[in-house]
Amino acid sequence: MDKFETLTGIAAPMPLINVDTDMIIPKQFLKTIKRSGLGVNLFDEMRYDDDRNEIPGFVLNKPQYREAEILVAGDNFGCGSSREHAPWAIKDFGIRCVIAPSYADIFYNNCFKNGILPIVLPQEQVDVLMKDAEKGANARMSIDLEAQTVTTSDGEVFNFELDSFKKHCLMNGLDDIGLTLEKSASVAAFEAQASAARPWV
């Protein structure tokens, strides 16, 4: 998993509440077990019409937001079913950070396992960031995970809270497998001791 330390990029505004995982990645795209290739279908039913033409008014189809790396979203983002494909699609599109007043718990935790930083901020601060994002590609936000800050294009700084363990995992690029491999020496020592004590097993 890629490390997350700092990020400065374009933020796309999506002021919708209760964006569920079926909106993020519709059910017909859940057949794959690969984490790559889902970005083209992110928000598929909002991005394309029935003939697979892009809908010009959708934020990620606008030229100024096609390279967005930050998504400023509404309350209760990622609700609905617990599909891990949702963060896979977000990450594959190129978004590394989502900022919202709240998230569904399973989606929130899945983000950390896939190298995405979900930031929780009060609604009034999200409103400021939403307006900043509406300025387009020239307004770039900065995220500093070590300092736990979000900085607007105008230099206004907001601090966010984050669990220290989740922060450690993101900053070191550790998913569940990576965390296990950190203990590989201890596991090997235990296995050697167990084999010596019980060679018949």
CA atoms within 13 A on the CB side of 66: 7
The predicted pLDDT at position 32 comes to: 83
Mean pLDDT of the chain: 93
Model confidence, pTM:
0.87
What value does the mean pLDDT take over residues 14-38?
92
| Domain 6-174 -> CATH class | alpha beta
Structure confidence by residue, pLDDT tens digits, 133-180: 999 998 899 999 999 999 999 999 999 999 999 999 999 998 766 666
Q: Pairing mode, if any, of strands 140-144 and 70-73?
A: unpaired
Q: Where in the chain are the domains?
A: 6-174
Whether 193 has a pLDDT exceeding 90, the answer reads no
To which H or E segment does residue 13 belong? strand 6-14
